[in-house]
Structure 1
Amino acid sequence: MTDDFYDELAPLYHLIYPDWNESIGLQGGKLSRLIEAEWPGQGARRKVLDVSCGIGTQALGLAAQGHDVTASDLSPREIERARSEAGARGLDIAFAVCDMREAHTHHGGGFDIVMSCDNSMPHLQTDDDLLTAFRQMTACLRPGGGCVVSVRDYASEARGTNIVKHYGARVENGLRHVLFQVWDFDDDGRGAHYDLGFFFVTEDLATQAVHTRVMRSRYYAISTARLCEFMREAGLQDVRRIDDAFFQPVLVGTRAAS
């Protein structure tokens, strides 16, 4: 379900942001400053692996900051678009299709930073899958390297059904797109998993013709505290949550120096 969801979303993904290009720069800058603050003294250029890059929002931003970026995602169409976006910006990023649960198997080790941003981890539906992903990510790191994960703070989210999350309206190439999500939690709204419908209502401003698309996926509304437990179990040290450094809570951990 996840790769189908993002394959369909790939050409529209930038519309999630009011100004995607601006977001690329802002997120790249914030992540670069966070990395330097948490793991100082490694120099300005880090070897970074993004295991859930999507269409490249964070990977493009970090590459523009001067980092050596490798990036992968489960969705072939997102990787295709990310590769195109990097080329258009003159950025040299090694992209590949890869499940984050096989990150080390695919990419190997030696990275200064491994990251998964923008709530990608909760696509994994079980504790075993999450722990597998964190173990693979840890194995990708050189000794002393850092793991960076950003996720929604599900502890602050209401549970229920028919929960609507508005993204607003975007106008592009004569089309107006209205974006919103609808969440339905399991067990009469009290469960830890929820189904999501992402709606794009598109109006042709010249003809007023309207077309609606919906992409569907499923998330594990796992707490940041539980994710930190998995990071520690995977072998990361100094694991903690950082607020106000990014647009979502950030979880960081460090692979032991020896």
Structure 2
Amino acid sequence: MPEIHDWNQRYLEGNLPWDTGLPSTELQKAVMQHKLGPCRVLDIGCGTGTNSLWLAEQGFEVTGIDLAPLAIERAEQRARDAHSSATFAVVDILTAPLAAGPFDFFFDRGCYHAVRREAPHGYAPAVARLLAPGACGLILAGNANEPHDPGPPVVSEKQIREELGTEFEIIELHEFRFDPGPMREEPFLAWSCWVEKR
């Protein structure tokens, strides 16, 4: 996985194909479908905070974390501008402690598929330790059924079940397409994975 300064460089350069500036359509659908009510939420790999701000608007108590300090600076500024209750912190999900929590729900749009390249079995236990008993989560990840280059890292269904299944029960797993980014008209194929902590 790129080091912190590499992620920061992406934000300095504006090389952010994943940052649509709009809350994830798949997240909005899942919150409605699973009738998720306001609770404590962890937004993993929150970037500039778009999804965190949307969740806070819906009444959730949101903490967004990201490896890149510049992303968190921008998220905090957006929260101030919007008078949002969302809070943010620079955190490496695999190693750094997090004072907030435990969380009842987590959302991950793209952190898992990046982290697993270097630590495929480190992600699930790292996230699970921050969750309350019975917590649920939504993970959106690149889909290996449609290889592409460039594009987000991809993962197979088998890998998802093996790597996440150690800590989570996979309640629902289906294909969808990421919302199109600013530099791409044809959105990438992805996985939507709804999980519950074992």
Structure 1: distance between partners of 2:62 and 2:91: 15
Structure 1: distance between partners of 2:142 and 2:88: 25
2:195: which partner in 1? 253
Q: 1:23-61: per-residue Cα shift (whole Å, max 9, x none)?
A: 13xx2x6424413433x4x6x312110121111121122
Greater helix fraction, Structure 1 or Structure 2: 1
Unaligned runs of 5+ in 1: 164-182, 184-195, 197-218
SS in 2 for 1:102: coil
Structure 2: distance between partners of 1:106 and 1:155: 35
2:114: which partner in 1? 123
Which letter does structure 1 place at the counterpart of 2:139? V
Of 72, 77, 81, the residue aligned with 2:74 is 81
Which letter does structure 1 place at the counterpart of 2:10? L
1:54: which partner in 2? 47
Q: 1:10-29: per-residue Cα shift (whole Å, max 9, x none)?
A: 25659747962xx13xx2x6
Structure 1 residue 236 corresponds to structure 2 residue 147: no
Structure 2: distance between partners of 1:14 and 1:82: 16
User: Greater Rg, structure 1 or structure 2?
Assistant: 1
The correspondence of residues 1-258 of structure 1 with structure 2, limited to 5 A, is 1-10=2-11, 13=14, 16=17, 20=21, 23-24=22-23, 27=24, 30-38=26-34, 40=35, 44-102=37-95, 105-107=97-99, 109-117=101-109, 119-124=110-115, 126=117, 129-158=119-148, 163=149, 183=150, 221-233=154-166, 235-244=167-176, 247=179, 248-256=190-198
Instruction: Name whichever of 85-94 and 221-230 sits farther off.
Output: 221-230
Q: Count residues in correspondence.
A: 187
Greater strand fraction, Structure 1 or Structure 2: 1
Q: 1:74-117: per-residue Cα shift (whole Å, max 9, x none)?
A: 111111111001111111112111011136x3246421111211
Identical columns (%)? 20
- In structure 2, the CA distance between the partners of 1:13 and 1:130, relative to structure 1 (3 Å rule), is farther
Which letter does structure 2 place at the counterpart of 1:143? P
What's the TM-score once normalised by structure 2's chain length?
0.79
